[in-house]
Structure formats: C-alpha cells, structure tokens
Structure 1
C-alpha cells in the first residue's frame, strides 16, 4: 500500500547491516556510474518520500533510494553519535559496494544532506545535490562561523526532541488530533502551507518507520549548567548532528570537487536562519523561558552557514548551483517537483540528453557559478 506504481522494494545484505532500498522496475542494474542516482532521506522519514521523483526521472537512469539505519526497513542498529553521521554514511557506502556501484550522483535531504557531504569526504562521488540540508556545522549551538556556543553543546541533541512527538511515533499515531502528531508535524513543518497530496498517508507511514528504540531516535542527553539545562549525548539520531560530533565544512578542501546543487525553500520551518526546531530561536521568541540573550545563545544561522561554506567551495574551484524556491518549505521535491527534477538533471549532466523531455514551464530561480 505504500509503494507507488513502478517502485519496488528489497533488502540487501552488506558487511555492516541489512539495508532496505527502493528501485524502479526495469532499471538497468549495470548502468554506468554517471547514470546512477542515489537518494538519501532525512530525519524521521524513509526512502518512501522519494517515490514521486523516482517515477519522474528519465528511464535510462538507474535510481535507488536507501533507508538509513533505524528508518524504513533497514536494521535498527544503535547509532554511535560520537562519529557524527558516519554510521549512516558508512552504511550507504556498504550498500553501494554490495550493489557494485563504485561512485554515483548522491542526493541528500535534510539530515541526508549531511550524510552525503560526509560520504563525499570519505569516498568518491560524481555530484552532490543538497536539498534543505543540515548546516555543515550541524544542527544548533553554533555562531555563524561554526564556533560552538558551549563546550557541551547545550540545547542540542537528543534532549531537544518533543517527548509527546516521540511517544506518538512509537505508538504509530496516524491522526492529526494534536500538533505533535506525525501527520500534524508533516503539515506544519515538512511542507509549506497550502501543500496537499493524495499520498499524504504514505508520507506519514514513512515517518512512522522511525525507530524509537534505545540508540535510535531521538538519542540520549546529559545535564548541563548552561541554558536550557541539558546538553548533547553520545548515541542516537539527533546527537549525530551536534557541533562537537559533526562538521562537514571540510568539503571546501576536497582535492576533487564534485559539482554541488543546493535546493532550498524560503518558507522552510526546520532549516533556516530562524528555525522553529532551534531551541535558541524558540528562546528568543519567548516560547522557551529563561533565554540568556543573543550574546550567549543566538539562533543558529543555518542557511547563511551553508551559503558561506558553499561560497568558499566555489572560491576554491568548485562548481555550485543554488536553487532557491520562494514560498516552499522543507520538501522542495514534493512541493515543486518540476523545478527540482530539472535542476537535478542539470547537475548530473543529463540536460541535453536525447531522452530528456522539454523543460518544465514553471518559473525556476537558479544561480550558478564555477
């Protein structure tokens, strides 16, 4: 019931864990690397979210969507957050090795953007598409230049998850009865106001595959003398992206720089310079009491940080294309699929291919430079 037409699912064995993935019926398993696209989902989601774009991409591409550990049908092994997102990126590499894919075009959404950037630091890639990616300096707790606000990453990591949301995930709540239900969170945070889909039940089912077992989502926390009273732990999903464990700004120094496409919406509630998932921003606007002020606990400027790192990447010789979509939320591939598809095909070098159809008629905002 959760698979769209032409999409198939299977689980493969790797030397690390069993990995679940989606493919398209009829794709050539022997396709060349330059015709292989690998899609990596974000936090509290799974490969199911990629199905519409998988259907729409040209048929002579090989398209694969991978479930990260603890999501979808992949093994629910604990996550060592002290390695940043390397447990995830190493799992993706193991899956591609098992499939006989030495390199590919990688697409990462949100946390998945951090995963594919880490992958590029460790392994060859042909291109990177970053959709609403986590900042290269992690999620929360840094100044614009990536400097941590506190040594213990106060206010970051597993302690920042809403307990009622976690409980509803664990219970498989499909309702929209509360603001903290997965369906309500999808509507308010994953997409911009006005987005509707006949497949919303699938997107919610994808969120509900998130493992809330120990070592998975959200992760542990420690007590802190710093506001708001807790700090990052060492296990679980949210702790993989705290500043002391995660920093992929080193992509600027890669010798071989793959072309990068950065896609983001101006109405993103999760990844922005004023994120409603950043406790410092919530303190600044009065949602969380006791905020110690801008000098001590400024909101993380997530989009600005990404732009700064990609500007440095460009200055160091890399190619960067930015697609900023007005009024779009955290899921451009769902909200504006034609623009997303066109930009993705451009970065992988497919535009102009004889099999490529005419460009979409929708307006597209792209700035590109080498």
Structure 2
C-alpha cells in the first residue's frame, strides 16, 4: 500500500471497469464540506500521492483517483487506439460509483488529456476544468496545426522511451546515482532547478508505482521508414498520447463548454515548445543522429498548440484563462502550493 498522509482517507472503489484506488480529503473548512468536490487526475509516471499536500490545504472536499496501471489501482491494459478513453472511461466509472457529477476537475500533464476526453464523452460530470501542464491536444508528434509530422507518427510511442529509465522503474530504484533514475528525473524534469520540499521520497514512491510493460508504461511500437526509425504502436500509455491515436480538439465544437483554467510553469522541461522529451527536438540538437530537418521533423510547439486550441474554444463560446508560474517547472501544485490553491479556488468559486 502507498504512503497516505494523516488527514487523507484511502479506499478502493469497485466499478464495472476496474478496482480503483481513491484518496479523499474532507477539506479544512467545516462549513465548506458539503461543497461540490474537486477531483484530481494525475499524470504519467505518478499517482494520486502527488496531490496529498494540496488536498490537505483545500477548504472544500477533494478526491484523487489512481488511473489504471498507477498507484494502487488495477494494472489493466491500455488500448492506445482509443487515445486516452480507457482512462477517462475509468474516471467516469469511479465518479458514477461515488454518486458524483458536475464536479470541478483538475488534470495534470497526461491527466489534462484525460479530463478533456471526459468532457467530450461525459460532459454532465464536469462543472469546471483546471489544466496543469497538459498534454498537447493534438497528441505527440504533430505540427502546430495538429497534422502528424509523418503519416505513421514516427518518433512517438512506446519505443521512444529511455530503456534504462523503464528498467529502473521496474527495479524500484530510489537512488540518484544516474540521470535515468526516477529520483534524478524528478529533480531534472518534474520541478524547476533547486526545488526541494522535504517530501521527495513520497514523490519517488509515487513514480515507482507505475506498472511497466507493453500494455502500460511505455507500450509497444512498430518500425518506420521515417526518421528515427520507429512509430506508435497500439498498446500502452505512450502510444495513447501519440497523434496517431489522440485528438482532443473536439472540445472546440463541444455543446458544453465549462470554463478552463490553464496553469503552467515557465520552466517546464516536459511540456514545452521545444521539449527534450520529444525526438524532433533531440534530433535538432544533435542528440539523436540523422535528423531530417525542420520541414520534415519540426520540434513540437506544445504550448502554442494548446493556446491555439483554447483560443478556438473561446471563440466558439467557451472561456479560458492562462496563468504562468514564473518560478515553476512541470508541477506548479508542488512548487507553489499556496498560489496554485489560490488560483484553483478562485476558479472553482467563479464556476460553482
């Protein structure tokens, strides 16, 4: 079992889809404990554990759900050909089992994509949306306009991950001896340089809860005639976020358009306009040889893509606000918890 902080309650929720691990906190304000809850959805290589300090700081109830293959939830396979629908359908089933609808939903990184898919498929469950460092809405391996860089989404999916990092996840490595250890990746990529909050062991524990293999993290892949020689497969989580399978731009034409708060860190190393977590950037900077150039393999403008889709969302009747945490990386809710909570609660109050 995972480490649960005092004041947070843990339970398993049985649905018709999976046995899900769920954390709940009642809120610090007794007068607000009947308020609509805030539902928190984590990202890749993490779990609901990452939300515990925030949950304990919120005045109103909160719920954090471990996605399949993470935390203490079932390690069910991910059908990548459905994009992130396996995960969003799981979240919907948990909310149904808990008797919750019209909730305020927060999605971090991959969880941001899960939240947008939930809006597309079950809009009655969503009252407001907060996206923190969300996956680009076109998926990985796409140009600014969302079109794939190659027809088969070369350079994306399960074969693009560092094999030593996966091996260290499998081994439960808690060291910081190598750049590919989970602890080192947390320090270099999840947060801005110099961040330390005394809870790093908990964050590493959360990362190590990630199930590995072709059906989960990272997934499978296929050979490609295009650089860098591989493309997205049909199984596992990284393929589910490839442009080959993921398209969340339907939110622009959605009949229900809750207000969106988009929070991102200025020093985000993972979701950025030229992220070293994607192969075209690695090629451009000579880290992966043979790069065919900007026209064939441009670094993905992830921030610009998200902004363009949200601008279109606003133009078609929705509304959003972008907030940049200048001192934060990929995890503003950890790096500046007080400000994150303030922004979140203001957004929630405006949409209650």
TM-score range, shorter chain: over 0.9
Q: Verify: 1:19 aligned to 2:20, yes or no.
A: yes
SS of equivalent residue, structure 1 residue 349: helix
Q: Flag as ranges the 4+ runs of structure 1 deviating above 3 A.
A: 25-28
Residue equivalent to 1:155: 155
- Structure 1 counterpart of 2:77: 78
Q: TM-score, normalised by structure 1?
A: 0.91
Aligned-residue Cα RMSD (Å) equals 1.7
In the alignment, does 2:96 pair up with 1:97? yes
Name the residue aligned to 2:105. 106
Give the conservation status (yes or no) of the 8 Å contact 2:26–2:62: no
- Between the aligned partners of 1:137 and 1:336, the Cα distance in structure 2 is 28
Contact 2:252 2:309 (C-alpha < 8 Å) held by counterparts: yes
Deviations 1:141-174 (A, max 9, x none): 1110101111111000101110000000000000
Q: Distance in 2 between matches of 1:225 and 1:319?
A: 42
Q: Give me the whole-angstrom Cα distance separating, in 2, the residues matched to 1:342 and 1:76.
A: 34
Aligned to 1:203: 203
1:313, 1:347 → 2: CA distance?
17
Aligned residue for 1:88? 87
- What is the aligned partner in structure 1 of residue 249 from structure 2? 249
Offset at 1:322?
A: 1.0
SS in 1 for 2:283: helix
Hey, what does 1:222 align to over in structure 2? 222
Aligned residue number for residue 36 of structure 2: 35
Q: State the Cα deviation string for residues 114-134 of structure 1 (Å, max 9, x = none).
A: 000000001121011000000
Deviation at 1:11, TM superposition (A): 0.8
Q: Which residue pairs with 2:138 in the alignment?
A: 137
CA displacement 1:178-224 (0-9 Å, x = unmatched) = 00000000000000001001110000000000000330100001000
Q: Which runs of 5+ in 1 are unaligned?
A: 354-370
Matched position secondary structure for 1:35:
coil
Matched residue SS, 2:9: strand
> Residue 128 of structure 1: SS of its match in structure 2?
strand
Secondary structure of 1:112's match? helix
Matches within 5 A, 1:240-319: 240-319=240-319
Displacement of 1:2: 2.0
Summarize deviations over 1:88-136 as a string: whole Å, max 9, x none. Answer: 0000000000001122111000000000000000112101100000000
Query: How far, CA to CA, are the matches of 2:175 and 2:319 in structure 1?
Result: 44
| TM-score with structure 2 setting the length | 0.96
Question: Aligned-pair distance for 1:5?
Answer: 2.0
Residue equivalent to 2:327: 327
Looking at structure 1, the residues matched to 298 and 209 of structure 2 have their Cα atoms a distance apart, in angstroms, of: 33
Q: CA deviation at 1:67?
A: 0.2
| Cα distance change on mapping 1:266 and 1:195 into 2, 3 Å | same
Worse-superposed segment, 337-346 or 126-135: 337-346
What is the CA–CA distance in structure 2 between the aligned matches of 1:201 and 1:57, rounded to whole Å? Answer: 23
Give 1:51's aligned residue: 52
Where does residue 359 of structure 1 map in the other structure?
Answer: none
| Distance in structure 2 (CA, Å) of the matches to 1:340 and 1:26 | 16
Question: How many Å separate the matches in 2 of 1:49 and 1:4?
Answer: 11
- 1:45-82 residue CA offsets vs partner (Å, 9 max, x unmatched): 00000011101100xx2200000000000000110000
Q: Aligned equivalents of 1:158 and 1:186: distance in 2? A: 20
Paired position in structure 1 for 2:5:
4
Distance 1:25 1:249 in 2: 34
Q: Render the CA deviation track for 1:286-317: whole Å, top value 9, x for unaligned.
A: 11111000010000000000000111111112
What's 2:128 paired with? 127
Q: Distance in 1 between matches of 2:145 and 2:347?
A: 28
Aligned length: 347
